[in-house]
Structure 1
Amino acid sequence: LVKVFSWKGKFRFCIGNKGKAAFKRPSAVVTNAQGEIFVKDDVQISMFTDDGQFIRTIGAAVLQRPYGLALTNDGHLLVIDHGRKAGDASVVRFEQDGRLVKRSPFEPLSNAAYSKCRFIAVWRDSLYVVDLGKSVVYVTDFDGKEKRRFGQFGRNEGDFREPSGISVDPKGFVYIADSKNDRIQIFDAEGTFLSLVSLNHNLLRPSDIHVTSDKYLLVSNYLKHNAHVYLLTPFESDRNI
C-alpha cells in the first residue's frame, strides 16, 4: 500500500489496500496539477483523487515489467517497460485517461545485460533514466533515442554505486541519490558534476528523492525506514550545497 502524509509528517490516509485499488509492489508515485495521484506497481498504473479515492487503472493490458514513473509538461505519463526478454525495453507513454499514446524502443538497453533501470525523471523534452545495475544515467528523448549518458561505477565525485532516485528541478539541476555511496549528487542538465548535497546528518542508502519547485528536497532512507524533508540553500558550482 501507499501511505500519504502531510508536509509536517502527519499521517493522512492509505491507498491501494483493497479491491480494484490493491497494489502489487508499488514503487513510484507522481501527482498532477490537480493533486490527483498516480501509483505504478509491478503490473500497471493506478489513478486516485487527491483524497485517495480510486479512479482507474492504466496500462494493465500492455505493460509487462514497468519501472519508474514520470509526468511530462504536456501531461503524459511515462514508464520504462523492460519487456519479457533482454533487448525488449521500451518507453511507454499514456494519456491520463488511460489511452496508450506510443510505445518506442528504449535505445540504451538494446544490450540490456546487467541493466536495472528503476527510477526516471523528465525535464523539458528529455527523459533521464537511472540504471542502478550499470551505475550510469541515460538521457533520451521521449521516443527512447539516446542523447547522452553520464556516470560510472566508483566512489569519486560524479561516480555512482547503485544510483537510485532522481529529480530535476525547474532550472535543470539534476539530483541523484547515490545509494551505496550514501550521498546525493547534483549535475547540470548535460550530466556535468556540480556538487554534493551536504546534510546535517548522514544518509543511509537513500532511495527515491524529489525536489520541489520551492527548493525542498524529500529523501526516503531505505535502511532507516523513514523519510526526511530538507530546505535547499543556494550553491555555487565549486561548493557543496
Structure 2
Amino acid sequence: MELISSFPPFTQQLYGLVMTSDNHLLTMTRCGNGKALQMNPSLLKYTFRGHLVAVIPLQLPLLIKSKLRFMALSGNSLYISDLGASYVYWVDATTGKLVDVIAGPGEKPGCFTEPSGIACDSNGNILIGDSRSNRIQIFDGESREYKGVLECSQKTIVRPSAICLQGDDKLIAVNYISHSVSFYSIIVETSHLSK
C-alpha cells in the first residue's frame, strides 16, 4: 500500500471520519475523556489535500462522561455515537445542530450500552454497534425508529467497535476485545426488515 497524502499533525484528537457528497472529509474534535468535558466539540471539514474548509460547532446536550467517537453520514444527516454517555445523536451535518436523539442508555431493544460504530445502508437504514450488549441494532432511516437486531452468519458479534457495510449483505466489524476484524454475512438483508 502506498501513502498518497497525509495531513499535518493536529493540536487535538480527532474521531470519526466520513466523506461528504461534495467529496470533502468530515471529522470531529474530541469533547471529553469520559471523566470531564474538555472542550466543545466541532466538526472539521477538509479537502482531500488537507485544507480546512469549515469548522462547524456541534450543538449537543453533552454530559460529563460524553465520549463522541463514531459517526456515519447519509445525505445531510450525520449520526454520532456517544460511547461514554450511551446516546446516539442525529445532527444536521451542515449546521452542527441536533435534530434529535435517536436512542439513549439501557439494555432493552432500541437502547444502548456504549454505542460504537455506525453505518448506513443503501436504503437509509442506520446500523449501530451496541458494544457492551454485543449486538448491532437497526433503525429506520426515515422515522429513526428501532427496527431490530441485525442477524448475521455468526450468532454473536462480540464487542463491535467500528463497523462498515459491503453492499447490503456483508458486515465488517472491529472486535474491541480480540483486537480483530471480522466479516459477517447478513442473514436478513436490511432492506427486507419490516417498517
Length-normalised TM-score, structure 2: 0.86
Select which of 104, 128, 131 maps to 2:79. 128
Q: Tell me which of the two structures has the higher relative contact order, counting C-alpha pairs closer than 8 angstroms and 6 or more residues apart.
A: 2
Q: Quote the residue 1:71 is aligned against.
A: 19
1:203 alignment partner, SS class:
coil
Deviation at 1:83, TM superposition (A): 5.8
- The reply to whether residue 88 of structure 1 matches residue 36 of structure 2 is no
Deviation at 1:107, TM superposition (A): 0.5
Residue type of the partner of 1:179?
S
- The reply to whether residue 197 of structure 1 matches residue 150 of structure 2 is yes
1:172 alignment partner, SS class:
coil
CA distance in 2, matches of 1:83, 1:115: 7
Select which of 131, 145, 151 maps to 2:97. 145
Query: CA distance change for structure 1 residues 77 and 67 in 2, over 3 Å: closer, same or farther?
Result: same
Question: What are the ranges of 5 or more consecutive residues in structure 1 without an aligned counterpart?
Answer: 1-51
Deviation at 1:54, TM superposition (A): 1.8
Deviation at 1:230, TM superposition (A): 2.1
CA distance in 2, matches of 1:72, 1:216: 23
Q: Cα RMSD (Å) of the superposition? A: 2.0
Question: What are the ranges of 5 or more consecutive residues in structure 2 without an aligned counterpart?
Answer: none
Residue type of the partner of 2:145?
T
1:220 alignment partner, SS class:
strand
**Kept in 2: contact 1:121–1:127 (CA 8 A):** yes
Deviation at 1:72, TM superposition (A): 1.3
CA distance in 2, matches of 1:124, 1:59: 28
Q: Quote the residue 1:237 is aligned against.
A: 194
CA distance in 1, matches of 2:49, 2:157: 38
Query: CA distance change for structure 1 residues 182 and 83 in 2, over 3 Å: closer, same or farther?
Result: closer
Q: Quote the residue 2:6 is aligned against.
A: 57
CA distance in 2, matches of 1:117, 1:95: 22
CA distance in 1, matches of 2:132, 2:31: 27
Query: CA distance change for structure 1 residues 229 and 83 in 2, over 3 Å: closer, same or farther?
Result: closer
Residue type of the partner of 1:196?
V
Select which of 97, 109, 118 maps to 1:166. 118
User: Following superposition of structure 1 onto structure 2, how do residues 12-27 of structure 1 map, counting pairs within 5 Å?
Assistant: none
